Every structure is written in structure tokens, then in C-alpha cells.
Amino acid sequence: MSQNLGLKLKQTQQLNQHLQQSLRILQMSGLELEREVDDWLQDNPLLERAESSEDESGDNEFTQVSAALPKGKQVGGEDAEDVWATIAEEDDFNAFLHKQVCEHPMSGQEAARVHILIDFLDDQGYFTDSLSDVLDHTPLEWMLEENDLQEALDLLQTFDPPGVGAANLAESLMLQLMRLPASPARQLAARIIHIGLDDLGRSRQQNIARFRKQFPEADAETLQTALDLIGKLNPYPAYGFASAEPTAYVQPDVWVKETKSGWTVAGNEQAWPKVRINSEYCQLLKEAGEISPEWKEKLSEARQKIDSLELRKSTVLRLAEYIVEKQEDFFVFGEIGLTPMLIKDAASELGVAESTVSRAVNHKYLSCPRGVFALRYFFTQAVSAEDGEGVSQSAVKAVIAQLIEGENKLKPYSDEALSSLLKQQGIDIARRTVAKYREALNIPSAHQRKP
């Protein structure tokens, strides 16, 4: 036997504890950060809250908490704590899905990919983005592949509630049907969804008459049972679940206002916890002479935590300024003015890693005259245009909504007609893509929009 010895060079990146803490703080929402700072203050006596100046606590006070409560009822003190405890106990759709990952047999890498896809689901439980969109909006260092994501999506579609992770209504209903016992009625229901979903109306008798003509080989009882099966399916998998947080309690991290010199960005001081070194304790330590190693470590920890807060604030503000610069048309014209923007482009412009930008947009909000928007909202994929520059998906959806709003209600536009009208405006997308965007906007088909 012979032994072969060799050297293998491998480049790895390890983050020190200070940087790990800074990245964790950057990813936190405002509520999570408040709880984290409270833990710091209890653990380290050298830290204390810095009092806010009077001008910071006036005009920018929030009343969203009371907005979540019944009108005429003011809740404070222990009552308020009870109210928020009740809200926190409600089942959240995404959390419900994340908990299921450990219940299914899969590798660690597969589980990580499923977790990623869960966070890309829309409010209805649909996966309306393409897998290439996911790749474009996740850091390169995650080493994701489209084939692997497709396998993860197949796994996610086996989760409860049935129909989750579907691209549209038809696919969601088909996924739900496949969970039911095989029967001639189930087979016919699948054919109806596949071929005649747009023809389904509210009248049971009209549906029976219509589909008897389309499926003459099916007997009346099977047809009625098939229609009953479809009627019992859930069009929105996320229906009945609470959102992750009470939307009325969203507190913006930054303000965007229009001034004489253009659009400006300012931090919402109420959203940034302020801590400082306790000067009295520091003075006592100096008077005591030599400082023990334990107190030196506490002092170092306190400074690092303050630095982490400052880094979080500066990163979010820089990112917000980049968004305002690139998406200025949005603040003037609304959603139709959104331009394509990717996380990797922002990372390159700001000189940081893509994962840093991904953390910075997580649970951060921007308030402007048009309302409150998540920072992630402004990162949109491009749709091809005739001039080659591309238009954001959100802008295309806004155009589709405008076209449908202004259509003749007696002769609503078909998806094919909408595709043609978009091409006249320089937006070249296929009929199937129009249908996908229309469904994402919760707009019925042309047949269903008729009075």
C-alpha cells in the first residue's frame, strides 16, 4: 500500500464577532431592534438610553397603534400589552410554512432553498415571481441554481395549506385537486380547470349547461360533483392567516420629502434606538484606578454595540438615498414610474456585498407623500421594451390596471388585446405574461369582468 500526501489550498471567509453582530443588527426590523437594545441595557450597566430632543418627539409621533383598535376605544398600560399579546399569538402564514420545513424529509441545502422561496410568496400564498427573479434578487454567494430552486418549489407545493406555491389560480386549484381521492369527478374537475376555468360563472345552472356542451361524454351527476369539488377549493391559500405584523404598526425608518432642491431623505429618529456610554459609571471606573478585565470587556462590548447601531443607520440611509435617486419618477408619477433595479446593482453602487443590501432592505420602510413602502418594493425585475432599456414589472402591472380601468365594461379587453395595447406603448410581453400579471393584481378575466 502507498500513501499519497498533498496540499490543497482553499480560500475561506470568516467573519469576526463584531462584524457578525453588525450584520445581524442590520437585518432586524425596528421592533426586533428595540427588544435587542432592551436586552443590551439589562446586560451591560455601562450602556444607557440617550434622551431624544424635544423636536424629535413632536410632529413625527405615530398613532398607528390606536388605528388597529376599535374606534372610540383607547387602550394603554397593561391593557395595551394584552392587546398586542393577543395579536402576536395569531398564526402567521409565512411562519406556518417555515415551521413545516423540519417536518418534511429533505437535506439542509434543500431546506434552505425552501425557506428562501417561502419569503418570495405573495400575500395570497402564490409564487408569482420566476425562478430567475429569485436568482437576481438573492446574493451571488448563496450559490443558487435554477434547477435546485425548481426542486425546492416542488417540495414547497407539498406543504399545507394545499395549493401553496402555485404560480396562479389554475395551478393552485390543480394542486388542491391532486390531494383528493381519484375519481371520475376529480378527473373532470381537472379538465374544467385546465380548459374552461375562465368560463366558470356564479350561476350553477349556467355552469352545468355550459360544460355539458364542452364535455358531452360526462353524465350529469359526474359534472355536478366535479363543479362541487371546484367550488370547495380555496382560491387563496393564505386566506385565514394573519400577517406577520399588524400593518397599522409599521413605523418608517426614513422620510422622503420634496424640497426646493429636489427629493430628500431623512432618518426617522423615532425608529432609531439611541444608546450611549454611561458617563457616571465610566468616571467611577477611572477613579477606582486599574480596570478589571471584566469591566474592560463590558466597555468594549458597549462601544461595539453603539458602532453597530450607527452602521445600521448609515447603511439604510445610504440605500434609501440610492433608491430615491434611481426611482425619482415613482415619487412624481406613482407605480407607473418605477424603473428596473436589482440588489446587485445597488451593492455595486454602494460598494458593499449583495448580502449586506439584502439585509438592509429586510423589514425596512420608507414614508413618502404616496404612502409607506417597504424598501424591497423598489427592487423590480425588468420587462423587455422596444427601445431595449426595459420596464419594471410593477410599472407594467400599473399600466395593465389603468387599461382595464378605462376599458368598455360591455366589451372588456382580453389578455391578447391587452398584450397588443402594451406593444403600442413599447412594452413587448406575451399574452401568458399579461394573464400572470392580471392575476397577480386580482383582476378577473375578460369573461368574468362582463356585467
Instruction: Delimit the domains of the chain by residue range.
Output: 93-232, 383-441
Q: How far is CA 237 from CA 16, 94, 131, 167, in A?
A: 42, 11, 20, 12
Average predicted confidence (pLDDT) for the chain: 77
Please give the residue that has the higher pLDDT: either 362 or 89: 362
- CA torsion sign for 306, 18, 350, 360 is negative
162 preceded by cis ω (within 30°)?
A: no
Model confidence over 25-72: pLDDT tens digits? 888 888 788 888 888 888 888 888 887 554 443 333 332 322 333 333
- In the chain, % of residues over pLDDT 90: 8
pLDDT band at 264 (very low <50, low <70, confident <90, very high): very high
Phi, psi of 76 (to 5 degrees): -145, 175
Residue 14's pLDDT is what?
42
CA atoms within 13 A on the CB side of 356: 21
Architecture of domain 383-441: Orthogonal Bundle (1.10)
Residue 382's pLDDT is what?
61
Please give the residue that has the higher pLDDT: either 242 or 116: 116
Q: Distance between CA atoms of 64 and 79, rounded to whole angstroms?
A: 16
Which strand (E) or helix (H) includes residue 258?
A: strand 254-259
Residue 85's pLDDT is what?
40
